[in-house]
Structure 1
Amino acid sequence: MPQLNISPWPMVILSMVVTLFYITQLKMLGFTFHMMLSPKLTEMQKHKTTWELKWTKIYLPPLTFPQS
């Protein structure tokens, strides 16, 4: 039974890693990264809804006392 020649494997693995790195870099060129991020000031609009015109009762959850 012949022996498996593994001498070209390091070169194949190295070329694969370099190719994947190169493809990744090419894909990253398509993205635009914004360096200066500033918060947008948007004016909040107040919407009139029916429940704002009426008084509604807010129920609090029951108090739980610590058990010792």
Structure 2
Amino acid sequence: TVITAIVKGLIRNGKQEELRRIANILQHEYAAKEDGCIQYESYIDGLTFITIERWADQVVLDKHLAQDHLKNISLS
């Protein structure tokens, strides 16, 4: 069963560019190379951040969520 996750969040004012940089790294350098990743796209609209993710199944999504690069994201 394909899992679709839509993540939506509010960006702190002034952090849009920093988040865009991090989102690009996650999208192009990490998620795209993970087994079971079907789609991983991020969007910024004003202060709204949205990521649309599609994963082959819950097992690979759980593995993705446990990755160190996700745990270490910080927008100070």
Scaled by the length of structure 1, what TM-score is found?
0.27
Bigger relative contact order, structure 1 or 2 (CA pairs below 8 A, ≥6 apart): 2
Larger radius of gyration: 1
Scaled by the length of structure 2, what TM-score is found?
0.25
